């Protein structure tokens, strides 16, 4: 069963309360299989547009050809670039395909897909090792676990926080949300709606308050409540970029001063629909924000889902979660195998 986030200590609590120890092994297995299936179906739906775009074109490129020649490789290159997979990845794949062809290992479409999948998996797995915490365990000693969420306006930070708060709470943790996007009045209101929905407390102040001051309050409150996790929303825009980066820097400093090692995780949210542009914007956060992982949102809204690979390769950071819709359950743990299979099958 795919868990989102869970502390060691909560494993028992979680399995008794949610899975139900009163159930037989068979019942539990059936339940797990049903959940896996449901996740698979929803993921495949989210990646559908990208899959269709790749497969339809692959079929037509492959049609009426007796062998894989340079003209074919040119068309393949164009196809890959069109999925926003990135130039570097495209070159790497073409190289692998050339190698396979010259060794006579690639003669048909299936072998071609298999070779491409292998290259993509290699890239995704390499970046997976660069992240911090794994989905399944966070040490008990870290409390509150401070999770900062950064990224430009409109990418889906607030929505992602709402979804995450709900999941992390469901998994048996006490969650607190900090509304440190004080730049827009609507930001805090929107976050409050998500917090209410998830039944999670929120620390907020009036518009224009120094975000670092709101964070300071939230850190104090998290400690006083003995909260397990503090999730921090941040502004995607201030009066100018230098300002924003300075503010994030200050927030990081304050978090580290109040809680050892905080922020423990900084998730950079990227909107899949914005493709290569989004990737470029994201780079600006890497310098200042000490990003430890990526959330790729709106994968359901694009046929250019190859951007996930470009992100892992070019930012060299793991994609931790993907957003596949606007509802609270539309956040999934990113799974490289599932993703790559979803692109081609």
* Residue 278 sits in the site that holds ligand GDP (CB under 6 A): no
* Residue 211 sits in the site that holds ligand GDP (CB under 6 A): no
The pair phi, psi for residue 170, each rounded to 5°, is -55, -30
Binding characters for ligand GDP, 312-341, by CB under 6 A (x = yes): -----------xxxx---x-----------
Residue nearest to ligand GDP (CB): 323
Q: Which of 6, 157, 252, 264 binds ligand GDP (CB under 6 A)?
A: 157
Q: Say if CB 272 and CB 241 are below 8 A apart.
A: no
Minimum CB distance to ligand GDP smaller for 293 or for 323: 323
* Residue 284 sits in the site that holds ligand GDP (CB under 6 A): no
Q: Say if CB 201 and CB 255 are below 8 A apart.
A: no
Q: What does 171 interact with, of ligand GDP, Mg ion, none (CB < 5 to 8 A by kind)?
A: none
Minimum CB distance to ligand GDP smaller for 68 or for 273: 273
Q: What does 340 interact with, of Mg ion, ligand GDP, none (CB < 5 to 8 A by kind)?
A: none
Closest residue by Cα to residue 148 from 170, 196, 180: 180
> Near ligand GDP by CB under 6 A, which window of 5-13, 78-86, 90-98, 292-300?
292-300
* Residue 308 sits in the site that holds ligand GDP (CB under 6 A): no
Return d(Cα 224, Cα 1) in angstroms, integer.
33
Q: Say if CB 50 and CB 306 are below 8 A apart.
A: yes
CB neighbourhood size of 268 (10 A)? 28
Q: How far is the CB of 308 from ligand GDP (least distance, A)?
A: 13
Largest CA distance in the chain: 70
* Positive or negative torsion for Cα 286, 289, 292, 294: negative
* Residue 154 sits in the site that holds ligand GDP (CB under 6 A): yes
Q: Say if CB 117 and CB 87 are below 8 A apart.
A: no
Q: What does 212 interact with, of ligand GDP, Mg ion, none (CB < 5 to 8 A by kind)?
A: none
Q: Which of 86, 236, 278, 293 binds ligand GDP (CB under 6 A)?
A: 236
Q: How far is the CB of 178 from ligand GDP (least distance, A)?
A: 14
* Residue 295 sits in the site that holds ligand GDP (CB under 6 A): no
* Residue 76 sits in the site that holds ligand GDP (CB under 6 A): no
Positions that interact with Mg ion (CB under 5 A): 157-158, 187
* Residue 301 sits in the site that holds ligand GDP (CB under 6 A): yes
Q: Which of 51, 167, 298, 313 binds ligand GDP (CB under 6 A)?
A: 298
Q: How far is the CB of 198 from ligand GDP (least distance, A)?
A: 14
Binding characters for ligand GDP, 86-125, by CB under 6 A (x = yes): ----------------------------------------
Q: How far is the CB of 50 from ligand GDP (least distance, A)?
A: 14
Residues that bind ligand GDP (CB under 6 A): 151, 153-159, 236, 297-298, 300-301, 323-326, 330
């Amino acid at each position: 069963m795919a868990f989102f986030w869970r502390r060691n200590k909560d494993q028992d609590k979680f399995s008794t309360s949610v899975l139900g120890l009163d159930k037989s092994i068979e019942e539990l297995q059936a339940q797990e299989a049903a959940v896996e299936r449901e996740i698979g179906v929803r993921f495949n739906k989210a990646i559908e547009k990208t899959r269709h775009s790749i497969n339809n074109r692959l079929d037509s490129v492959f049609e009426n050809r007796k062998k894989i020649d340079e003209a074919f490789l040119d068309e393949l290159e164009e196809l890959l670039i069109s999925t926003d997979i990135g130039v570097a990845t495209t070159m790497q794949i073409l190289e692998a395909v050339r190698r396979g062809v010259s060794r006579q290992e690639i003669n048909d479409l299936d072998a071609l897909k298999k070779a491409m999948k292998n290259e993509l998996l290699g890239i995704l797995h390499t970046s997976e090792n660069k992240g911090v915490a794994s989905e399944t365990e966070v040490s008990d000693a870290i409390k509150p676990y401070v999770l900062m969420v950064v990224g430009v306006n409109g990418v889906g930070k607030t929505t992602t926080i709402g979804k995450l708060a709900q999941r992390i709470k469901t998994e048996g943790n006490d969650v607190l949300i900090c509304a440190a996007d004080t730049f827009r009045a609507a930001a805090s209101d929107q976050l409050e709606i998500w917090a209410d929905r998830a039944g999670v407390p929120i620390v907020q102040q009036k518009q224009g308050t120094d975000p670092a001051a709101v964070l300071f309050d939230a850190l104090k409150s998290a400690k006083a409540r003995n909260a397990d996790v503090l999730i921090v929303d941040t502004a995607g825009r201030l009066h100018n970029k230098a300002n924003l980066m300075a503010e994030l820097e200050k927030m990081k400093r304050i978090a580290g001063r109040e809680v050892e090692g905080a922020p423990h995780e900084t998730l950079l949210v990227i909107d899949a629909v914005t493709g290569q542009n989004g990737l470029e914007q994201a780079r600006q956060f890497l310098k200042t924000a000490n990003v430890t992982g990526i959330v790729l949102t709106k994968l359901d809204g694009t046929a250019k889902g190859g951007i996930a690979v470009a992100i892992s390769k070019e930012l060299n950071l793991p994609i931790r979660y993907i957003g596949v819709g606007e509802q609270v359950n539309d956040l999934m743990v990113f799974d490289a195998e599932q993703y790559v299979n979803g692109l081609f099958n």
